[in-house]
């Protein structure tokens, strides 16, 4: 039996989850509204909000799991990558608790945890599988041969897919984070109404900065002729932008599947909550006879359950971290 408490604090969500023998018992997430007025996450404000949130969030996570601190066998935390101040709050808290309870500590890589979020449900992929991880800071295609053997075979050279959504939304005058709003308005729009240039990037890598520039120039031109252009065409603009981003992602993902011959495909990360991507991904898999896996919404965006499931596999492998381990803004994948 293993009961693990996991803490996630890499960006602007404070989250705590308890996992018992690979089963998630709780996953409590506190969002931070303070950033909305600034159009993006303000790192110092994020750290301060984590400081306020961490004790009550862990308390709720433990209580919702129906356990007590004495039941814990290990404490896990997000070590990297992320905002350093935010990571420090979670890691220092986890280390203090591990020391106080005399329990082992488990350090987890946030991007690997996004991939392994696919191991949470009963219906999970078998190894080897592929994962397209699309978040606010990363866009990666990963080959997963085992929980401990994850290899990046393609990634973005500039903006991440989430950034492409958020920056496009900003150009449309939508508040941060704009990704979910583009998704919402896109439902009413025509995805073929406007077309934006797709990049020609070698191998399995991505680029999104050109798309953003092409949207900017297009809007500048149209607004000159009609200052209400965005307001009058919001749904079609959102649908067309979403269609372009999804198309860039899935063309490369399909290429990766064909190249590797792997037929079990997952998506993960905040952008995998996007309804257009989910639908097109499932359709692509269906057409090619591949099996598709998508985590539940609460496990797509940042959450501690994905840290907990990753920690569970590390626990089984006896992979513990010393109390001297520190958080890091950047981290090598290995
Ligand atoms: O994985 P995540 O929660 O945090 C990071 O680790 O970055 O991803 C956040 C990103 C943001 O860019 C947000 O706009 C995007 O995920 N996102 C979406 C949707 N929900 C979240 N983008 C498009 N459509 C959505 N429904
Ligand atoms: Zn994330």
Residue 40 pLDDT = 82
Tokens of 271: 């952008």
DSSP states along 250-291? HHHHHHHHHHH---EEEEESGGGG-HHHHHHHHHHHHHHT-E
pLDDT tens digit sequence for 186-238: 999 999 999 998 999 989 999 999 999 999 999 999 999 999 999 999 999 99
Between CA 174 and CA 268, with CA 15 as vertex, the angle to 5 degrees is 65
Residue 314 pLDDT = 98
| C-alpha of 133 from chain center | 7
Identify the weakest region by mean pLDDT among 10-19, 37-46, 69-78, 261-270: 37-46
User: Among all ligands shown, which has an atom nearest to the Cα of 134?
Assistant: 1
Q: How far is the CA of 247 from the centre of ligand 1 (A)?
A: 17
Name the residue of 164, 301, 304, 329 whose CB sits within 8 Å of the most ligand 1 atoms, as the mutation to test its pocket: 301
CB 35 within 8 A of CB 45: yes
Q: With 90 as the cut, is the pLDDT of residue 36 above it? A: no
3-state secondary structure 143-174: EEEECCEEEEEEEECCCCHHHHHHHHHHHCCC
Between CA 201 and CA 269, with CA 271 as vertex, the angle to 5 degrees is 95
How far is it, in rounded angstroms, from Cα 135 to Cα 289?
Answer: 26
Q: How far is the CA of 287 from the centre of ligand 1 (A)?
A: 27
For ligand 1, atom 20, the nearest C-alpha belongs to 180
* Index of the ligand 1 atom closest to the CA of residue 178: 14
Residue 178 pLDDT = 94
pLDDT tens digit sequence for 87-139: 999 999 999 999 999 999 999 999 999 999 999 999 999 999 999 999 999 99
Q: How far is the CA of 261 from the centre of ligand 2 (A)?
A: 27
Residue 39 pLDDT = 80
| Sheet containing 74-80: order of strands | 23-31, 13-20, 3-8, 74-80, 105-109
Q: How far is the CA of 93 from the centre of ligand 1 (A)?
A: 26
pLDDT tens digit sequence for 276-307: 999 999 999 999 999 999 999 999 999 999 99
Q: How far is the CA of 109 from the centre of ligand 1 (A)?
A: 18
Name the residue of 136, 268, 269 whose CB sits within 8 Å of the most ligand 1 atoms, as the mutation to test its pocket: 136
Under the banding of pLDDT at 50, 70 and 90, the label for residue 334 is low
User: What share of the chain has pLDDT > 90, as a percent?
Assistant: 93
């Amino acid at each position: 039996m293993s009961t693990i408490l996991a803490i996630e604090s890499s960006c602007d969500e404070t989250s705590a989850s308890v996992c018992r023998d690979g089963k998630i018992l709780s996953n409590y997430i506190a969002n931070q509204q303070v950033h909305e007025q600034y159009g993006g996450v303000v790192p110092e404000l994020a750290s301060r909000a984590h400081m306020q949130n961490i004790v009550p969030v862990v308390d709720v996570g433990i209580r919702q799991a129906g356990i007590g601190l004495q039941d814990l066998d290990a404490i896990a935390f997000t070590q990297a990558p992320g905002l350093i101040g935010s990571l420090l709050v979670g890691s220092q808290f986890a280390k203090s608790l591990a020391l106080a309870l005399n329990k082992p500590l488990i350090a987890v890589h946030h991007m690997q945890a996004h991939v392994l979020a696919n191991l949470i449900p009963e219906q999970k992929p078998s190894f080897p599988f592929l994962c397209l991880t699309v978040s606010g800071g990363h866009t990666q295609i990963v080959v997963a041969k085992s929980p401990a053997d994850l290899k990046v075979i393609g990634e973005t050279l500039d903006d991440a897919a989430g950034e492409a959504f958020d920056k496009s939304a900003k150009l449309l005058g939508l508040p941060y984070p704009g990704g979910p709003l583009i998704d919402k308005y896109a439902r009413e729009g025509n995805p073929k109404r406007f077309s934006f240039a797709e990049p020609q990037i070698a191998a399995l890598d991505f680029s999104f900065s050109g798309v953003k520039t092409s949207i900017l120039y297009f809007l500048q031109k149209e607004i000159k002729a009609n200052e209400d252009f965005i307001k009058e065409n919001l749904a079609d603009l959102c649908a067309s932008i979403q269609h372009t981003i999804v198309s860039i992602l899935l063309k490369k993902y399909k290429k990766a599947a064909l190249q590797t011959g792997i037929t079990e495909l997952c998506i993960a990360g905040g952008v995998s909550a996007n309804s257009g991507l989910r639908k097109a991904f499932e359709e692509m898999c269906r057409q090619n006879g591949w099996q598709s896996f998508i985590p539940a919404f609460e496990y797509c965006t940042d959450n501690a359950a994905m840290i907990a499931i990753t920690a569970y596999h590390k626990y089984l492998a006896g992979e513990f971290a010393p109390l001297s381990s520190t958080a890091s803004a950047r981290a090598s994948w290995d």
